[in-house]
Structures are given as structure tokens and as C-alpha cells.
Chain A
Amino acid sequence: MLHLSARRVGSLLARRATAALSTSSARMASHDVAQAADMSQPMYWDRLDTPLPDKPFKDVLTAADKSLKQKEKGPWSQLTKEEKIALYRMSFCQTYPEMKQKTSEWKTVIGGMFIFLGFTGLVVWWQRIYVYPPHPRTFDEEWQAKQLKRMLDMRINPVEGFSAKWDYEKGQWK
């Protein structure tokens, strides 16, 4: 009854696919994903080896900030300490000591290493129980004992090696 030609089915599927894609991308844009920095614009950075970044830290200045900027055009000796600090913080996010602060990142790194090593240990343990085949019979205690006796009977390395260490008179190791 339904005479869907191949062409129609194709176009139907194509429309479905694009609709799905567009809604999914719209969904992605709406929730909080970290925005990639626009590298075509001047950027701010805190770097010890590059003290003056391309743009000041604070972009949007309040009215108070703007009036302080005006005051900056006059003699700087007229600025109070707080005003000077405020001007500094307007242009820069972190001071040099703040940039050089130690972090606890190493704890995360070592901790992560141990977690993954531990996980690997668990995997190896599971393998030993469930994956490894049974031991060959030559590993049995009894077999090993018989093997040792045979080696001694054959006088393996009697001069300086294996049998040299066995006391044949007393029947024990020297």
C-alpha cells in the first residue's frame, strides 16, 4: 500500500539524521561546557617569564575603577597604598608570589599512580585465578623431588656444580 520509493526513504532518513544532529548540538551548547578561549583576541596570562600580558585582567571597569584610572594619570604619589593595590589588581590577576605558590598537585599525581597500579594488581590477580591454565605436572612437589634425585643419580655437574654439593656418603647436602 505504501509506495515509498527508495528516493523518498533516503530523504526521510537524511532529514531525521540532520534533525537529530541539530538538536543534539543545540543541547550541547545550552549546558555548561567550558568555553574554549578565543585565541584570535588578545589574551591575559599570568607567567613569570612574560610579565606584561596583551590585555589587562579586568575588562569591565566599574565607575569607581574608571575614576581611579583617571587619578592614575596624575602624580602617583597622591595615590594611597590601597589605590595602588587596586590598580595592580585591575591589570593583573596574580602577583608573582601567588604565581609561584606550591600546589598539592604532586599528591594527585602520586595518588593517581598508586590507584592505577592497584587496579592493575587486581587485574593481574583475577588473571591468575581465572585465566592461567593449571600448572604442568613437572611443578608438583613429588615430581620435583624425583627430578632432583635423578639429577644426583646422573651426577650432574659433579666437579664444581650441582652434584659436587651433594655428599654421596652421608646422603645429604654438603
Chain B
Amino acid sequence: MFRAVSRLSATGVRSLARSRPCYSAPLASRCYSHGKVETDEEFDARWVTYFNKPDIDAWELRKGMNTLIGYDLVPEAKILDSALRACRRLNDLASAIRILEAVKDKAGPHKEIYPYLMQELKPTLSELGISTPEELGIDKL
């Protein structure tokens, strides 16, 4: 996830720092120093597994996405990939496009994150036939 300011270069070179803050800020854990801290990889894996459930239902998709967007981070490409595949299983193209819009909004002022994610997700998007909001022209007013 991109927790701190992303250190991606303007050319979007993939040597990105999955930028780590100086201290490993635990996500979704409270501030007790004795508790187990979840790593980034564990977090990602947990969410990928959540969306990979073969018989995921629409409520779980909505709940998962809304919760994920509520976190102070931009989800990794692999989490989004499995969320988009969940939309495909549910025959819900609109939600897939909505997810892409939400992720762009989550990046906020860090304009390099969304193009990077689109680059990462390009194979999935073309495989599933999902058009990006830009392709559909709904990214403009």
C-alpha cells in the first residue's frame, strides 16, 4: 500500500518504493505496544483472500470495498485485481468501474499512483473487458 508519500518517479519506473514510513506503522491495529503488528504483506494477503472467495456475494463485495476505501491507504494492485475479479463473478461491471474511480480518488494529491495502478492492472482490465473511467469519458464532467 502507499502509506506515505509515494516515491515513484515521474516515468513510473517500477523500482518503486512501496514507500515505507520510518517506523512500520501498523494498520488496523490499536496502539498497544504488546500487540502483534500486521505487516503490509499480511494485510494485502488477507484482503486478496477476502475478495478471492469463489462464492462471494454482493453484500460482501460492497462491505469489503467500502471498508477498504475507509482505510488510510491506497490498496495494492493485487487487492484491486481480486476485487475486480469478484465483480466479474457477480456480473457487476458498474461496481468494477466505481472501484477504479474510488481508487483514483483515494490517491488524492499523489497523481502518480493511479497511472501506476492502471499500468499494473492493464492485463486484468483487458482480460475481463473492464473499461477505465477515462476510456468511457466519465472522468470528465
CB within 8 Å of B: which residues of A? Answer: 48-54, 56, 72-73, 75-79, 81, 84-85, 87-88, 90-92, 95-98, 100-101
Contact between A92 and B91, CB atoms less than 8 A apart = no
Contact between B136 and A85, CB atoms less than 8 A apart = yes
Give Cα A72 to B99, complex, Å.
17
In the complex, the chain A residue whose C-beta lies closest to that of B131 is A84
Contact between A92 and B94, CB atoms less than 8 A apart = yes
Contact between A75 and B94, CB atoms less than 8 A apart = no
Segment of B11-19, B24-32, B49-57, B64-72 in the binding face:
B64-72
Give Cα A90 to B104, complex, Å.
21
* Residues of A close to B65: CB separation below 8 A: 51-52
A124 to chain B, nearest CB (A): 45
* Residues of A close to B104: CB separation below 8 A: 96
Chosen A-B contacts, 26 in total, with CB atoms closer than 8 Å, are A48-B102, A50-B66, A50-B69, A51-B65, A51-B99, A51-B101, A51-B102, A52-B66, A52-B98, A52-B99, A77-B129, A79-B93, A81-B137, A84-B97, A85-B136, A85-B137, A91-B94, A91-B95, A95-B101, A95-B138, A95-B139, A96-B105, A97-B138, A97-B140, A97-B141, A98-B141
